[in-house]
Amino acid sequence: MAAKDYASSKTFRSFGPIARFDRKRFEIRRKKESKVNRWNEQVELPQDLRILFLGDSITENGTYIRDLDAFWSKYLPDRRIEWIGLGVSSETSAGASENAHPFPRPCVHERLDRALSETRPDWVFVCYGMNDGIYHPLSEELFAAYRSGIEKTVAAIFEAGAQPILMTPPPFDAPSATGRLLPLGMPDYSFEAAYERYDDVLARYAEWVLRYGRRNGLKTVDLRSPLLDYVRAERERDPGFRYGDGIHPEAPGHAVIARTILSRVFRIELERMPEWLCGESEFLRRVTERRELLKAAWREYVGHSNPNKFEALPLEQALQEAEARLPDIRAAAEREGGTADERTSDWNGFERTDYVLEGRSCSIVRPKRTAEGRPWIWRTEFFGHFPAADLELLRRGWHVAYAKLSDLYGSPVAAERMEEFRADAVRRFALDARPVLEGLSRGGLYAVRYAETYPRHTRAMYLDAPVADIASWPGGLGSGYGSPEEWLDCLAVYGIDVSAKADEASIRREARQIAEELLAGLTVPAQAGIPILLVAGGQDEAVPLEENGELLERRYREAGGTIDKIVKPECGHHPHGLEDPEPIVRFALASLDRSRVDRFEQA
């Protein structure tokens, strides 16, 4: 049987409205409502939000939703986020079902209207695809039905006044499959006897989801790539590693999904996995029990066509009981480290304290003996990379600090979060009120933005191969090679439309305006007398010196600022720093006494 005929070996229920989906009408309505419907990048953490999750058995399991709920309950308990898991095992987005499946697979459109009207969500996460290909080789009929099913789901979510967030289907890991794997050309396939290269089918589905999301200005989350990275890393460590049953990830895989959502939707990057997520925890147990209570009640209240029903309380009773359990959850969270969740460890022979501030990972490394005035150097990005200067300053009594604000690209919101960290660090660790900022690579954006916004709280800046123009990196609009994926991410942070209706010229123009705004702001730290040490490689192809460091140097001098430059002629973007970090250390030390800055420049 040829691949194109495989669709004839399965049952396909079109659910009339999917087959008749009017794309032209949908696009007209989307244009009319584009200001309302287009995703506004979530750079500020929400205070009050109701979030619905639709999906198949992976979402029904819901461990990743539990992890998200636990994160908010633990670190951001004052924010009211309601997580509603409405995954249904075996469900698809378009109604396809293989012959061998024990019952016709449910279709989300059988219950979508009721799910939306009963939950009244602000956001709706949508994750389908694993079952939509019904474990066959690629079928164009099934693929078209999947696309139409997702489009119709998006339209219904918009119609309900909510924001859709699309997630790519997770991968199918053939080495972990518990059922049979069949080659191309078999008469039929199923979840228990899958096509051996079914992951290739899911790769096509995932690629379409990402393209469709970008084309329509929708938020999309690539789950496939981080899960593949996770499987690859685990298998390198242990060749016998199994990714669940090949379809359903176990708890560590769900943690990867949760971590990806935190990063891609809420822009929260975890420096380390929380200990309560990896071990025995009363807090996590209580969160899990509450989630199971709510999951069953919501699933059966909304209804579905899966013949396997959950034992569930009436929804109203479940909601009341769930609310009553919150004080015990909060008490358990407090007993297990509270919102700060402080942990100490060794870092290159020095004591490192990791803690959480407003959901963000923070780190402070203490010297063995503290220098007078309790000075500190603040890594704005890439903690621990090329640490020679940091280590030497620690030996001389300085603290080293870091707050993980990755993927905010030095935006104004990043500067606000940085100031929250600085104020807290000064209070918590009795540090000098004015740190030296250390901006490596994209960390240069953060350092410069902060110094422009809070010059009175900035002592000096050490910038190493810094990004000064987002059009150069990650944009790659100059001589550097850029980073296409991070370029789209960066543009989203700054609110630049990259959907299909946005033309390339307008994107470039807006990006240049952002870069110019940052460079024009250099007059603030220059007039405040904040010195800069610039270290860079002369052969940097990622962040070209002439488009970034030298541009920043020229504009800073024009603004009347003091800047010293050290160029490593044969060096690329890496390694950062200097083989002998003494010039960097002397610069930091000199910043403690402004009268010594001139002597540093003459040395």
What mean pLDDT is predicted for residues 329-348? Answer: 97
3-class secondary-structure state, position 72: helix
> How high is the pLDDT of residue 271?
84
Residue with tokens 């810094």: 466
In a domain, 322, yes or no: yes
- Same domain? For 327 and 348 the reply is no
- Same domain? For 233 and 285 the reply is yes
What mean pLDDT is predicted for residues 186-205? Answer: 98
How many CA atoms, within 13 angstroms, populate the side-chain half-sphere of residue 258? 23
Least confident range from 184-198, 268-282, 474-488: namely 268-282
* Residue 134 main-chain phi, psi, to 5 deg: 40, 35
**Which of 287, 306, 335 is where one domain is finished?**
335
Answer whether residue 517 shows pLDDT above 50: yes
In a domain, 261, yes or no: yes
Q: Give the domain range for residue 391.
A: 343-602
What mean pLDDT is predicted for residues 9-18? Answer: 44
Spatial distance between the Cα atoms of 379 and 415, rounded to a whole number of angstroms: 14
Residue among 444, 442, 424 nearest 525 (CA): 444
In a domain, 277, yes or no: yes
3-class secondary-structure state, position 350: strand
**CATH number of residue 478's parent domain:** 3.40.50.1820
What pLDDT digit, counting tens, does each position of 84-98 carry? 999 999 999 999 999
Task: Report CA-CA distances (Å) from 142 to 51, 93, 110, 128.
Answer: 29, 11, 18, 13
> How high is the pLDDT of residue 318?
98
- Same domain? For 442 and 569 the reply is yes
**CATH number of residue 97's parent domain:** 3.40.50.1110
| Mean pLDDT, the chain, whole residue set | 92
Residue with tokens 């300053």: 393
> What percent of the chain shows pLDDT beyond 90?
86
What mean pLDDT is predicted for residues 166-184? Answer: 98
- Same domain? For 138 and 173 the reply is yes
> How high is the pLDDT of residue 425?
98
> What percent of the chain shows pLDDT beyond 70?
91
Name the pairing type of β-strands 436-440 and 532-537: unpaired
pLDDT tier for residue 42 given thresholds of 50, 70 and 90: low
What pLDDT digit, counting tens, does each position of 228-284 carry? 999 999 999 999 999 999 999 999 999 999 999 999 999 999 888 898 988 789 999
In a domain, 320, yes or no: yes
> How high is the pLDDT of residue 548?
98
Spatial distance between the Cα atoms of 29 and 113, rounded to a whole number of angstroms: 19
3-class secondary-structure state, position 415: helix
What mean pLDDT is predicted for residues 201-219? Answer: 96
CB 444 within 8 A of CB 467: yes
- Same domain? For 318 and 377 the reply is no
How many CA atoms, within 13 angstroms, populate the side-chain half-sphere of residue 446? 27
> How high is the pLDDT of residue 40?
64
491 Cβ contact partners less than 8 Å away, ≥ 6 residues apart: 498, 507, 510, 511
Beta bridge partners of 356: 361
Residue with tokens 């003091």: 562
Burial 551-562 (b: 16+ CB within 10 A, else e): bbbebbeebebb
Spatial distance between the Cα atoms of 452 and 412, rounded to a whole number of angstroms: 10
In a domain, 300, yes or no: yes
Residue with tokens 């209706």: 501
- Same domain? For 386 and 289 the reply is no
Spatial distance between the Cα atoms of 305 and 299, rounded to a whole number of angstroms: 11
- Same domain? For 106 and 86 the reply is yes
- Same domain? For 295 and 379 the reply is no
What pLDDT digit, counting tens, does each position of 523-545 carry? 999 999 999 999 999 999 999 99
CB 495 within 8 A of CB 567: no
473 Cβ contact partners less than 8 Å away, ≥ 6 residues apart: 442, 467, 480, 482, 483, 542, 543, 548
In a domain, 450, yes or no: yes
- Same domain? For 302 and 441 the reply is no
CB 576 within 8 A of CB 387: no
Spatial distance between the Cα atoms of 118 and 99, rounded to a whole number of angstroms: 33
CA distance from start to end of the chain: 79
> How high is the pLDDT of residue 272?
82
pLDDT tier for residue 29 given thresholds of 50, 70 and 90: very low
Answer whether residue 6 shows pLDDT above 60: no
Spatial distance between the Cα atoms of 260 and 407, rounded to a whole number of angstroms: 13
What pLDDT digit, counting tens, does each position of 492-511 carry? 999 998 877 778 899 999 99
- Same domain? For 316 and 382 the reply is no
Q: Is the backbone peptide bond immediately before 575 cis, with ω within 30 degrees of 0?
A: yes
What mean pLDDT is predicted for residues 561-572? Answer: 97
3-class secondary-structure state, position 70: helix
> Could you tell me the pTM of the whole model?
0.90
Domain count, the chain: 2
Q: Looking at beta carbons, which pairs linking 498-502 to residues 24 or more positions away fall under 8 Å?
A: 498/214, 498/217, 499/38, 499/214, 499/215, 499/216, 499/217, 500/214, 500/215, 500/216, 501/34, 501/217
Answer whether residue 75 shows pLDDT above 50: yes
- Same domain? For 464 and 577 the reply is yes
